Structure 1
Amino acid sequence: MSRKYQLIALDMDGTVLNDKKEIDEETRSAIHEALAAGVEVVFCTGRSFSEMRDILKDFPDMHYLCGESGALVLDLQKGETLHREEVSREIAEIMMAAGKRKDLMTCVFSDGICCVKKEHMLHMDRYQMGQYQKMYEKTCNPMEENVLERLLKEEGPVEKINLYHTSPDERLETRKWLEQQKIQAELVDSETSSLECSPLGVSKASGLKSLCARLGLGMEQVVMVGDADNDIEAMKAAGMAVAMGNANAHVKAVCDLEVADNNHQGCAQAIRMVCGEEAYNRQALEQLKVVGGEDD
């Protein structure tokens, strides 16, 4: 019997990763089991390739990565870029001005590498990103000067720009300022107070569509598992949308199925429900809907 769902796309933070930023053994095993069964499992994340490198070492059997919120799609086995989108110079200059207005921590993804000003990276707790500081110190390219200014001067590629704020209110103020500039880009809230900027029309959905086109699959054959606003477009485009128990209300409003939270193997549950249901019957899956378990 041919499988209805051929590709499972997994968000990382809040989905594959628990609150300790770790992958539990159940989730790790479920991913390997699905890959061994011939189902493509793809990390569909806002992270850059450099931020994913260590995690991917545990998944040598994974074939593809949909990173940078769809701006960069990689063939992991061949080490090739399958799809890339870049922010225009005009948009980058507007984002640079926005960052300078409030001395925001600006993170730029350039050719799959996360680039950050060194001074900002040493004080990430100020920008509500302290839990990622060790990861950034290990995986990012620290620069002495303004990151965007340097990359624009060197004419380096810019696939995505994140602005990290000290508070959600500060992020909202930046959003309003960017709208006044009539910026033509995709702006998505993430984390506590960060704002992601991608080229117009680029999202996790567009990245998955480009990958599916390569693989000869339709989006109706995709399952998207996520928890936050930057997952919604992909969830709407996928054949099945699965919300983690810890997902926000916007995500739960568009999902077909809700599983346990990221601290209670919800991601593993989603993978096994999809791969283990012989008939892949949507109604049967919906009847299995659960919420996050009690704390141990």
Structure 2
Amino acid sequence: MADVMGNYKLLALDLDGTLLNDRSEISETNLEWVRRAAEAGVTVCVSTGRGFPSALPIVEQLGLNTPMITVNGGEIWTKPHEIHRRTLLDWEKVAKLREIALRHDVWYWAYSTGGIHNKEQWVDDVPSLDWLKFGYYTEDVPVLQEILREIGEGEGLEISNSSPYNIEINPMGVSKATALMEVCSMLGYEMSEVASMGDSLNDIAAIRASGLGVAMGNAQEEVKLAANVVTGSNTENGVAEAIRQYVLRT
């Protein structure tokens, strides 16, 4: 168990299910405490499975001009609009992942640098796009498990989720954890100086690699087991609670 009262210089925040409530809003309490952390000199880094366009309004609401991690680490930003590194998913893999989705007749989506594409709005000219991440969604758990089994047989894929009913796929080696290590390298921080908060499987590696790993009260059980501490849920200002208790220690 890490020393949960360490000196944290970087706060990595997942968005959906963590900083955001179930209406995808930041509560006033969470907003206040994130700003307090930033004002105290802590670098606040949004670390999300979202693409840059949907993460940016939240970063702007927080008033941040700090590094960002989007599409589960597929993109690392020095600051908003300034890309540091982008890791692409081969279009052949995207085509195979889509074929599995079509065969099982489930909802699917994918991020490219040109935007988000899904079952209802796909593009025919797949090879011409720079792809970042692919995902599936179904509440039929046995089908989800079968898809997981099928894609697990492939190579070169990093598999996680952002809810119990989805699967998210990045290129092998791409995760919020490896992206956070790169951000620390950029800023001259150690991973022991990072506090990471999240709720889903795409947060586990970062939670384990950080000096302080915080699972939300609403987190998947596996995430709670990987964390140093469990805070309140995303509807109970859990982020604010963890900042107050462990990061700023007020």
**1:151 to 2:126 alignment:** yes
- The 5 Å alignment of 1:16-35 reads 16-35=19-38
Distance 1:89 1:254 in 2: 33
- The 5 Å alignment of 1:198-217 reads 198-217=170-189
SS at structure 2 position matched to 1:23: coil
Checking the alignment, whether the CA contact within 8 Å between 1:163 and 1:195 is kept in structure 2 is: yes
Aligned to 1:176: 149
Distance 1:88 1:24 in 2: 38
Aligned to 1:42: 45
- Kindly indicate whether structure 1 or structure 2 has the higher relative contact order, using CA contacts under 8 Å at least 6 residues apart: 2
Displacement of 1:265 after TM fit? 0.9
Checking the alignment, whether the CA contact within 8 Å between 2:133 and 2:169 is kept in structure 1 is: yes
Deviations 1:76-121 (A, max 9, x none): 35x210121111233222212112212332211112732234x3xx
**1:76 to 2:68 alignment:** no
Which blocks of at least 5 consecutive residues in structure 1 are unaligned? 120-142, 279-296
SS at structure 2 position matched to 1:63: coil
Distance 1:39 1:112 in 2: 32
TM-score normalised per structure 1:
0.77
- The 5 Å alignment of 1:125-140 reads none
TM-score normalised per structure 2:
0.90
- The 5 Å alignment of 1:130-279 reads 143=121, 146-147=122-123, 149-152=124-127, 155-180=128-153, 182-277=154-249
Which one-letter code corresponds to 2:126 in the other structure? L
Distance 2:17 2:34 in 1: 16
Query: In structure 1, which of residues 86, 89, 92 is the aligned counterpart of residue 91 of structure 2?
Result: 89
Checking the alignment, whether the CA contact within 8 Å between 2:214 and 2:229 is kept in structure 1 is: yes
Deviations 1:21-44 (A, max 9, x none): 211101001111111111111111
Distance 2:9 2:23 in 1: 30
Displacement of 1:166 after TM fit? 4.7
Which blocks of at least 5 consecutive residues in structure 2 are unaligned? 1-5
Checking the alignment, whether the CA contact within 8 Å between 1:41 and 1:62 is kept in structure 2 is: no
Checking the alignment, whether the CA contact within 8 Å between 1:50 and 1:112 is kept in structure 2 is: no
Deviations 1:7-64 (A, max 9, x none): 0101111110112221110100111111111111111111111221322231233412
Alignment RMSD, CA only?
1.9
Distance 1:227 1:61 in 2: 22
- Identity across matched positions, percent: 31
Query: In structure 2, which of residues 87, 90, 107 is the aligned counterpart of residue 105 of structure 1?
Result: 107
Alpha-carbon distance change, 230 to 237 in structure 1, aligned in 2, over 3 angstroms: same
Which one-letter code corresponds to 1:263 in the other structure? T
Aligned to 1:7: 10
Checking the alignment, whether the CA contact within 8 Å between 1:167 and 1:192 is kept in structure 2 is: no
Number of corresponding residues: 245
Mean CA deviation greater in 43-52 or 96-105? 96-105
Which one-letter code corresponds to 1:203 in the other structure? S
Aligned to 1:290: none
Aligned to 2:3: none
SS at structure 1 position matched to 2:69: strand
Deviations 1:208-241 (A, max 9, x none): 1111111111111110111111111001110111
Distance 1:48 1:246 in 2: 23
Deviations 1:129-153 (A, max 9, x none): xxxxxxxxxxxxxx3xx34x4332x
